[in-house]
Structure 1
Amino acid sequence: MLDDTDRRLLRLLQAEPTLTNAELAASANLTPSRVFRRIEKMQAQGLTLGKEAVIDWSALGYAVEVSLRITLDKTQPRAFDDFIAAAREVPEVLEIQTFLGRVDVRLAVIARDMTEYQQVYRKRILTLPHIADIEALMHLARIKSNEALPL
């Protein structure tokens, strides 16, 4: 599906997503038109999902990050759908993951401090539907965070 040139372009984009088409072409020893066609083809195939800005939440004053592991009341037929729909509406929830196993859902929640976190937890999280059990894990440090693939 991908040839060496495609992989090289993806490696370059992962390392520096702000590279212009001309810069990509120079780095990959290709013409700008060839790079454009290859990037466009990978986008059409759904290999690249777009570019995004990664914001350092702590630089904006968010000092608390908590991972909530939630078990849902699965006796309710719409437990997952209702819970996820409601959780999406909580602005402090950065990420929602679902699992198979004892834990059904994990939420990544941010707050400026512990007082704000307690308010978010009590007023927004605990009011989410179908929660059977919840466990909070306080985030201390991010050791590795990398979405780049080994291409």
Structure 2
Amino acid sequence: MLDDLDRRILRHWQSDPSLSPAELAERCTITPGKAARRINRMQETGIIEGTSAVIDWAALGYSVEVSLRVTLDKTQARAFDDFIEAARAIPEVTEIQTFLGRVDVRLNIIARDMAHYQDIYRSRVLTLPHIADIEALMQIARIKAEEALPL
């Protein structure tokens, strides 16, 4: 699906997402038009899903990050759907993942401090539907958070 040129474009763009198509073209030794066409094709086919800003939550005053591992009451037919719909409505939930196994869902939550986290946990998380068990893991350090692919 991807040829060597596509991979080169993606490698350069992953290393510096601020590059324009013209700058990518220069680094890949192709014309700006060809780079733009390749980028458009990869966007249209879903290889490139979009671009985003990476925000340092700590710089905005969020100093606490907690990962909650949730086991749902699977005797309820809509347990996953109801839980996920309600969890999406919590602004401090930055990530929701589902799993096969003992843990069904993982929520990543950010908070300004422990008092703020405690408020989120008590008033919003514990009111989510169909929770059978919940375990909190407080993040101490982020060692690696890499979204770049080995192209």
% identical equivalent positions? 69
TM-score (norm 2): 0.99
AA aligned to 2:135 is E
TM-score (norm 1): 0.99
- Structure 2 equivalent of residue 8 of structure 1: 8
- Distance in 1, matches of 2:144 and 2:86, equals 30
Mark the runs of 5 or more structure 1 residues left unpaired by the alignment.
none
Query: 1:101 Cα deviation (Å)?
Result: 0.1
Divergent runs of 4+, >4 A: none
Q: Check if 1:60 corresponds to 2:35.
A: no
The alignment's C-alpha RMSD in Å is 0.4
- Distance in 2, matches of 1:122 and 1:143, equals 29
- Structure 1 equivalent of residue 125 of structure 2: 125
- Structure 1 equivalent of residue 82 of structure 2: 82
Q: Check if 1:71 corresponds to 2:71.
A: yes
Query: 1:15 Cα deviation (Å)?
Result: 0.6
Tell me how many residue pairs correspond in the alignment.
151
Q: Secondary structure at the match of 2:107?
A: strand
Query: 1:115 Cα deviation (Å)?
Result: 0.4
- Distance in 2, matches of 1:113 and 1:43, equals 39
Aligned pairs for 1:127-142 within 5 A: 127-142=127-142
Q: Check if 1:45 corresponds to 2:45.
A: yes
Q: Check if 1:106 corresponds to 2:106.
A: yes
AA aligned to 1:12 is H
- Structure 2 equivalent of residue 144 of structure 1: 144
